Amino acid sequence: MNYKEALEYINETNKLGSVLGLQSIEKLLSLLDNPHEKLKFIHIGGTNGKGSTSNYLSNILQGGGYGVGLFTSPHINKINESIGVNGADISDEDFARILEKIKAKIQTMVEEGFNHPTTFEILTAMGFIYFSEKNVDYVILEVGLGGKNDSTNIIPPPLASVFTTIDYDHIDILGNSLEEIAYEKAGIIKRDSIVVTYPQREEVLNILKKVAKDNNSDFYLCPMENISIKEINSFGSIFDFSFNNTKIKDIKISMLGEYQVYNAALALTSVLILREKG
């Protein structure tokens, strides 16, 4: 399979319907020897800001000398953007090679009566294989849709579940109320992990706290009062931030908008908590 053929296969898969749940991705990964089971994940959920927060986390960890896999969606220009290591997208050759391997397992699945995986499920599996091959230290894994039934939720307990703003989102799938949507998104919280978010609607925070407590996971809020914005202009922002005994000055980000400062602070908080916990 070459890259053109890989894209054609993806396009054909896009025409197929989807079934909510983890059965298909679980079966596919089992046929691929479960490449995700030895990876260390930071799982990113929410409605808005997941992509930028994921990129901030990746950049922070890379700056610390770690090998970092990044799985995000949707792509902007090219599907390869969904899967990357240390800032470099997966190559066309690796994309086609890994997809060819997966295609053979999908045929086995379908013959056994399982549903054909969706494009997102296929990309998720591809990312796990690629990150495993690259032997990354951490994987920043962005939820595709919702949380509990999203294919990324097949992972073992992550190092952290990080939540950006949770708001009304895909109400036809996730629920009609903000509480229902928050519960669906909180479904990525697993046992004995940590949960990090920033101040947002009280009903959302209450649900995140409850699900964290039910799973024996520690809950943390990014201290927004410790953010000091120095400058916001057409080139980005500069701000200071402190968390516990760590103070960082003149943090520069190029993404535009005040809310990007808060997403960057959320990423910093998550990394600092993980560092404190060893």
Q: Which CATH number fits the domain that encloses residue 210?
A: 3.40.1190.10
Residue 62: inside a domain: yes
Residue 275 has pLDDT above 90, yes or no: yes
pLDDT tens-place string over residues 102-132: 999 999 999 999 999 999 999 999 999 999 9
pLDDT tens-place string over residues 167-221: 886 565 566 788 999 999 999 999 999 999 999 999 999 999 999 999 999 999 9
Cβ partners under 8 Å of residue 277, min gap 6: 194
Residue 231: inside a domain: no
pLDDT score for 18: 72
On average, the pLDDT of the chain sits at: 94
Sheet with 218-221: strands ordered across: 88-89, 83-85, 68-71, 138-142, 41-45, 160-163, 194-197, 218-221
As given in the structure block, the two tokens for residue 24 are 């298909």
Residue 35: inside a domain: yes
CA-wise closest residue to 145 among 80, 74, 90: 74
Q: Taking the CB of residue 88, how many other CB atoms lie within 10 A of it?
A: 9
Residue 254: inside a domain: no
For residue 115, the SS3 value is coil
Q: 132: domain range?
A: 3-15+22-221
Domain count along the chain = 1
What whole-number distance in Å separates Cα of residue 155 and Cα of residue 150? Answer: 11
Percent of the chain at pLDDT exceeding 90: 87
pLDDT score for 169: 67
Residue 183: inside a domain: yes
Cβ partners under 8 Å of residue 99, min gap 6: 1, 6, 9, 10, 122, 126
What whole-number distance in Å separates Cα of residue 237 and Cα of residue 235? Answer: 7
Average of pLDDT values for 86-109?
98
Average of pLDDT values for 242-255?
94
Show the DSSP H helices in 34-164 as ranges.
Answer: 50-63, 92-111, 119-134
Token pair 């086995």 is found at 108
Residue 19 has pLDDT above 90, yes or no: no
pLDDT score for 160: 98
More confident residue, 172 or 277: 277
Q: Taking the CB of residue 158, how many other CB atoms lie within 10 A of it?
A: 24
Q: Which region among 4-18, 148-162, 185-199, 238-252 has the lowest average model confidence (pLDDT)? A: 4-18
